[in-house]
Amino acid sequence: MTYKNFTVQTDADGVALVTWDMTDRSMNVFTEEVMGEIDAMIDELARDAAVKGVIITSGKKGSFTGGADLKMLRGMFDGYEKKLEADRGGAVEELFARAGEMGRIWRKLETSGKPFVAAINGTCMGGGFELALACHARVASASAKMGLPEVKVGIFPGAGGTQRVPRMTDTQSALQMLLQGQTLSADKAKRMKLIDEVVADDGDLVGKAKDMLKAGLSAVKPWDEKGFKLPSGPVYSPAGAQVWPAVASLYRKETADNYPGARAIVKCVYEGLLVPMDTALKIEQRYFAQVLQTTEAAMMIRSLFVSMQALNKGARRPKDVPEQAIRKVGVLGAGFMGAGIAYVSAKAGLEVVLIDRDQEAADKGKAHSRTLMEGLVKKGRASAEETETVLSRITATPSYDALSDVDLVVEAVFEDRDVKADVTKKAAAVMKDGAIFASNTSTIPISTLAGAFPDTARFIGIHFFSPVDRMMLTEIILGEKTGDTALAVALDFVRAIKKTPIVVNDTRGFFANRCVLRYMSEAYDMLVEGVPAPMIENAAKFAGMPVGPLALNDETAVDLSQRIMKATIRDEGEDAVDPRHFKLVNAMVDGDGRLGRKAGKGFYDYPAKPAKKSLWPGLKEMFPQKKAEDVDFTELKQRFLVTMALEAARTMEEGVVTDPREADVGSILGFGYAPYTGGTISYIDGMGVKAFVALCEKLEAKHGERFAPTPLLREMASRGETFYTRFAPAEAA
Ligand code: NAD
């Protein structure tokens, strides 16, 4: 037996060791060739009388299949983005055929009559974990990570995952794992009974697997034996009656029923547990086919898998600038943002010079890294040594001389043009030739700040989101004169710190904040109309937003909204701000110091823990309240999604964002735009531009001009275009 991607060695005891090691790839992934080989190999192993049992492992250090979550899906989705536009049915059919094939082969392995053990030596996600679950036992290295993350891109594990997991672990844990796409540590997987043995990283994993075979591992799965009992008991039983009603409400609470993939998981588990395995697998397949055909799955796969990977790999990076090794960065301003930027940089292995006005302020910024690292240590996700290593990379100082050998400076001082100009000049005076200067400003145009730096080509914006350690998006802002090298360095830096970049052209609010302001502004409108505040917050959450607009406004601070309105009135005149909105924030801020969470009161009241925040009752007195039955709840949801999508469309029309993938990925990562839509632009493309324009017109008639479709949208609607065809990304993923 010889295979291209596998070696098979059978020892004297009749144990066949199958080692998966794709010579032409750094990771093992499922390709058609791999599937074909596994299929043939199972037949051969089953036929070979000398083989008593089989161990499947990987030849790649620290990885069974796929290096990171979802990597194994890549083969399936090669060219998916193009196919989706050209031939949606074809793209779906191909995905379905591959998943169906995988499910068939794993079942064949499971019923081959020979016992199989998966020796999981490292990361094992998606289809790879489904393969392991089909084996008759599993041993894993202590540091191996595993899981079925498919739901995160809009689908679900369709090769037996939804059936084997709830036959091995209790229904509640199984559903939680599947619905959240959890990544499990080896220990957690063992506690859930998904793994049989955990072996130390330097231990003998294969030896352990052999021991299990030698001890007489059964080649028949428990669920293929008569009298098999489900871990949580039958669905129709007193135990089942405890579990399932709770599942329904948990599912609604977590998903607002917006995700067909998640809905299908619940149905697969429920229906599948009523029948024998082979029928259950057919049920899973049927739902898989349905889910793949949904707009949600198509849009989520594209944005959250294909486009996100393309952007992370540098889709927008100028090709002819060689890779820039970034070793050391300077951060100016050790406040809220600067401290976070220093932390993520040091955590990624970069040397950091953290500067503030005096030593005390700089030290305070550095202390933020200690707090975050200690938090990780407490959770067992970092060691004390790692904490010291990360901290040792950060030099906190008021002295600009320390910037002489940095490759990049990120400025995060006060949002004040003069203060920024001052620190820019001081840094420029000592920075080495060719080093890049980036500002983290959130409101000041980059092109105007660039004037303080001697070489405007080396000046760029890198806009982080707070909290920096948790928010995965960065907006790279191109000033009028920003050069390719600055863009390349900024992208290389963002890649080094493992964030996802979008590249936008210079404009007030850039991309994300423009859209977010619309979200909060729409909530003000609803308040003014007398929509009860809880309905506003709930409508947003039911629409798929992670945080209601009023809660979000409390986080970003109500006085910041007031400042932005004042600045807009100053720059653009009284008419640029809705006077009712201005009155509302003035009343909140000036009247009662309701500045938001930081003040303990805003749209919500924030009592001392453990009490929970609650909406401020005073809102009811500010505006005559509508009765709940007089409010069109569906329309509230639409208003939120449409107003942000329209703003995103405007940014594309204005050339602020040039690639629809960036608007989509940026909107999900930057402000949590209802992920099931695939992002602001996919929301429009998903329903069709024509339908979107009609929806805008309906809302415009009722709520005013802010919903008027733009000229570009009308033109695209009349031509039957989508954003992804009209603004086709320069290169496929
Ligand atoms: P902050 O007030 O928490 O921090 C600013 C820091 O700059 C302070 O530590 C201050 O001592 C220091 N500083 C001021 N003048 C200085 C000088 N001359 N030399 C050296 N250090 C000086 O503010 P922040 O929230 O961290 O915001 C910093 C920048 O990041 C602003 O441009 C802001 O617009 C931008 N930003 C903020 C957020 C956010 O959510 N807060 C998000 C994105 C971008």
Q: Which of 331, 332, 337 to mutate to test the pocket of ligand 1 (most atoms within 8 A of CB)?
A: 337
- The residue from 492, 508, 524 where one domain ends is 508
Name 328's bridge partners. 351
463 is catalytic: yes
Q: Is the CB of 441 under 6 A from ligand 1?
A: yes
Single-letter residue type at 431: M
pLDDT in tens, 235-260: 999 988 989 998 988 899 889 999 99
The model's confidence at residue 67, banded by pLDDT at 50, 70 and 90, is very low
| pLDDT of res. 25 | 84
Q: Is the CB of 268 under 6 A from ligand 1?
A: no
- Please give, one letter per residue, the 3-state secondary structure of 204-260: CHHHHHHHHHHCCCCCCCHHHCCCCCCCCCCCCCHHHHHHHHHHHHHHHHHHCCCCH
Decide if 556 is inside a domain: no
Q: Which of 331, 417, 442 to mutate to test the pocket of ligand 1 (most atoms within 8 A of CB)?
A: 442
| pLDDT of res. 603 | 98
Is residue 278 located within the same domain as residue 392?
A: no
Instruction: Provide the b/e sequence for 117-129 (b: ≥16 CB within 10 Å).
Output: bbbbbbbbbbbbb
Q: Is the CB of 337 under 6 A from ligand 1?
A: yes
Is residue 390 located within the same domain as residue 242?
A: no
Is residue 174 located within the same domain as residue 64?
A: yes
Residue with CA closest to ligand 1 atom 25: 336
Domain that holds residue 445: 328-508
**Average of pLDDT values for 285-289?**
90
Decide if 609 is inside a domain: no
Q: What CATH number is given to the structural domain containing 129?
A: 3.90.226.10
What gap in Å lies between CA 269 and CA 267, rounded to an integer?
A: 5
pLDDT in tens, 207-228: 999 999 999 999 999 999 999 9
**Average of pLDDT values for 410-427?**
96
| pLDDT of res. 508 | 84
- Separation of CA 245 and ligand 1 centre (Å): 49
Decide if 503 is inside a domain: yes
DSSP state of 730: S
| pLDDT of res. 122 | 94
**Is the confidence at residue 79, as pLDDT, over 80?**
no
Report how far apart, in Å, the C-alpha atoms of 367 and of each of 133, 339, 703 are. Answer: 44, 8, 49
Is residue 359 located within the same domain as residue 470?
A: yes
Decide if 719 is inside a domain: no
pTM: 0.91
Decide if 119 is inside a domain: yes
Decide if 722 is inside a domain: no
What gap in Å lies between CA 269 and CA 165, rounded to an integer?
A: 9
- The residue from 474, 508, 542 where one domain ends is 508
**What is the torsional sign of CA 420, 422, 426, 432?**
positive
- Separation of CA 332 and ligand 1 centre (Å): 8
- Which residues 6+ apart lie within 8 Å of 626 measured at CB? 529, 530, 531, 532
Is residue 288 located within the same domain as residue 380?
A: no
Is residue 284 located within the same domain as residue 361?
A: no
Is residue 125 located within the same domain as residue 253?
A: yes
**Average of pLDDT values for 571-575?**
90
440 vs 81, which has greater pLDDT? 440
Give how many domains the chain has, as a whole number: 2
Q: What CATH number is given to the structural domain containing 489?
A: 3.40.50.720
Atom of ligand 1 nearest to the CA of 443: 34
- Separation of CA 610 and ligand 1 centre (Å): 31
Is residue 274 located within the same domain as residue 358?
A: no
**Average of pLDDT values for 8-34?**
91
Is residue 342 located within the same domain as residue 206?
A: no
Single-letter residue type at 308: M
Decide if 608 is inside a domain: no
How many beta carbons lie within 10 A of that of residue 18, not counting itself?
Answer: 22
Is residue 250 located within the same domain as residue 332?
A: no
Q: Which residue has the tokens 């793209």?
A: 91
- Separation of CA 334 and ligand 1 centre (Å): 7
Is residue 288 located within the same domain as residue 379?
A: no
Instruction: Provide the b/e sequence for 666-691 (b: ≥16 CB within 10 Å).
Output: bbbbbbebbbbbbbbbbbbbbeebbe
What gap in Å lies between CA 643 and CA 650, rounded to an integer?
A: 11
| pLDDT of res. 298 | 86
| pLDDT of res. 66 | 64
Angle of CA points 499, 501, 502, to nearest 5°: 155
| pLDDT of res. 730 | 61
| pLDDT of res. 87 | 64
Is residue 247 located within the same domain as residue 379?
A: no
Report how far apart, in Å, the C-alpha atoms of 529 and of each of 161, 522, 577 are. Answer: 48, 11, 17
**Is the confidence at residue 68, as pLDDT, over 50?**
no
Q: Is the preceding peptide bond at 501 cis, omega within 30 degrees of 0?
A: no
- The residue from 248, 266, 293 where one domain ends is 293
**Average of pLDDT values for 417-432?**
97
Decide if 313 is inside a domain: no
